[in-house]
Every structure is written in C-alpha cells, then in structure tokens.
Amino acid sequence: MDVAIKIEPDTLNVEHELEEEIIRAAELVGKLYGVENSELSITLTDDERIHELNKKFRDVDRPTDVLSFAFRESDEPEILNQQVEILGDIIISLERAKIQAENFGHSYLREVIFLTVHGLLHLLGYDHMEEEERLEMEREQDFVMSTLGIERD
C-alpha cells in the first residue's frame, strides 16, 4: 500500500517512529483486506484544523478524533484502466488522540494506531451507525490491532 502522510500544520511535532507505525498498520490492513495495491492519504493534524473540517463536511461544530473520506463514495469520475485503487483520505487529530489515550489509560501510540485502523475500516465500507454494524466493526478493529500486536491495555 502506498501511504502518503501529511502533517498539517507543518509546525506540529510528529516523531518519525509514529509515522512508521502508522504506515505499518495501514500496510497490514491492506494485506488483510486485499487492498495492498492501493493508495491512501493520512493527514496528522490538531484539534483546530479537524474542527474546521468536521464543521465543513459533517456540520458538526467540534473537534473529533478521526475523519475518513472514501474515494469510492465520492463524486469523482472513475479512472479507467486504473492499476492502483485510491482508497481515500484519513485525518487524525493528534491532540485528540493524546487526550483520549490519557482518558482510556493506554499509550498515545496505541490510540493513534487505533484511529488509523478505525479510519481505514471506514474507507473499506465498515460503519458503526447501527448496533450490528458497530459490533462487526469492533470485531474487525480488535482483529487488526491483535494482528499488529497491540492489545487493549
């Protein structure tokens, strides 16, 4: 999987090891779900920026932890003879991840990787609006996190 990571704003301090772990998680999801020949964009940001995006695209006036924009669901024209599937974009608030990690009592790394997996599963069509969907998505998240060797703390 070709994973492009963008840091926005560029003043945000992101350790290289965190980026490597995000890529490792995305590549594993690609292998597990048969989309290893795809492209994915991940933006690491702060609460201010994700708040703007949440308001603009979901009409929710508060920051959130992760947003997913699936290319499959967009109005973009289909690209003929496409060799690589473009999955879409994931935006993760590192500020929110840090707060949630503290609240849940686990590591910042675990939270960021969980949000990466959660966002990727959304791009693959999983959702959690209905109880049955939520349970299925939780099983998939647990499976991927376990395969990564990152268990719940």
Tell me the per-residue pLDDT of 110-126, one tens digit each, with 9 for 90 and over.
Answer: 999 999 999 999 999 99
Per-residue pLDDT at 79 exceeds 80? no
Determine the CATH number of domain 2-148.
3.40.390.30
Phi and psi at residue 68, to the nearest 5°: -125, 135
The pTM of this model reads 0.91
Hey, how many other C-beta atoms are within 10 angstroms of the C-beta on 153?
A: 9
